[in-house]
């Protein structure tokens, strides 16, 4: 299958996709975009408002519009995605899929220790209820692992370390 030479970063909310993406672009020629940012600018409103005003299924429809555009028009780019974007049918056609993986407790700990913790929790409607978020994690993790071409365990690693590992693994990935 012809790929667009993109890297598609997937993984659960708060695992650090954005932080790793920002490091990767410092150490490579990639540019980076984020599917949530694209949706927010398309809609001129925040993800949490899209969820509140139009519901999750409308948000998923917007994700699928973005997925189609990524496949047809984006090349040589590091694409950071929202935690549910991995379900897009054409994901494999967009690029090499890299999963950032970590246990649920570590992800929550990472968010809570962040200086902007409250903001990070508030902007993610699916993290409001931690019990439900844990269930979602349990449901998704096997699916993330199944679709990923490359897996990076980010636990106890800095974003810089993860970005170096990512670039090394992408290079050797056929
Ligand atoms: C979601 C993850 C969020 C955002 C939306 C839904 C999910 O992105 O797309 O709130 O379904 O896991 P992050 O993974 O960047 O938090």
Residues with CB under 6 A from ligand 1: 13, 36, 47, 82-84, 124-126
List helix spans (H) across the chain. 17-26, 35-43, 47-54, 56-73, 91-94, 104-113, 117-122, 130-147, 159-172
Q: Determine the Cα–Cα distance for residues 118 and 79; give it in Å rounded to an integer.
A: 25
Mutational pocket test of ligand 1: of 22, 67, 84, the residue with most ligand atoms within 8 Å of the beta carbon: 84
Q: Determine the Cα–Cα distance for residues 121 and 112; give it in Å rounded to an integer.
A: 8
- Cα of 84 vs centre of ligand 1, distance in Å, is 6
- The one-character DSSP state at 142 is H
What is the pLDDT at residue 1? 43
Mutational pocket test of ligand 1: of 126, 130, 134, 136, the residue with most ligand atoms within 8 Å of the beta carbon: 126
pTM recorded for the entire structure: 0.95
**SS3 category, 29:** coil
Q: Determine the Cα–Cα distance for residues 74 and 68; give it in Å rounded to an integer.
A: 10
Mutational pocket test of ligand 1: of 124, 141, 144, the residue with most ligand atoms within 8 Å of the beta carbon: 124
From residue 53, how far is each of 58, 61, 66 by CA, in Å? 10, 14, 20
Residue nearest to atom 10 of ligand 1 (CA): 124
Point out the ligand 1 atom lying closest to the alpha carbon of residue 18.
Answer: 15
The three-point CA angle 94-96-100 to 5° equals 115
Q: Which H helix or E strand runs over 7?
A: strand 6-10
Residue that the structure tokens 């299958």 belong to: 1
Q: Distance of alpha carbon 155 from its chain centroid, rounded? A: 16
Question: pLDDT tens per residue, the chain (174 residues)?
Answer: 446 799 999 999 999 999 999 999 999 999 999 999 999 999 999 999 999 999 999 999 999 999 999 999 999 999 999 999 999 999 999 999 999 999 999 999 999 888 888 888 889 999 999 999 999 999 999 999 999 999 999 999 999 999 999 999 999 986
Pairing of strands 95-101, 6-10: parallel
Per-residue tokens: 22: 């920002």
């Amino acid at each position: 299958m012809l790929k667009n030479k993109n890297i598609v970063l997937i993984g659960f909310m708060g695992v650090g996709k954005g932080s790793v993406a920002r490091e990767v672009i410092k150490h490579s020629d990639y540019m980076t975009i984020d599917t949530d940012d694209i949706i927010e600018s398309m809609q001129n409103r925040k993800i949490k408002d899209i969820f509140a005003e139009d519901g999750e299924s409308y948000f998923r429809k917007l994700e699928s519009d973005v997925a189609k555009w990524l496949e047809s028009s984006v090349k040589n780019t590091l694409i950071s995605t929202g935690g549910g974007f991995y379900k897009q049918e054409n994901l494999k056609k967009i690029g090499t899929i890299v999963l950032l993986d970590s246990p649920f407790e570590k992800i929550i700990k990472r968010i809570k220790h962040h200086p902007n913790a409250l903001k990070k929790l508030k902007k993610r409607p699916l993290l409001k209820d931690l019990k439900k978020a844990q269930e979602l994690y349990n449901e998704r993790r096997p699916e993330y692992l199944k679709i990923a071409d490359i897996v990076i365990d980010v636990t106890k690693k800095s974003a810089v370390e993860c970005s170096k590992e990512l670039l090394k693994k992408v290079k050797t990935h056929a």
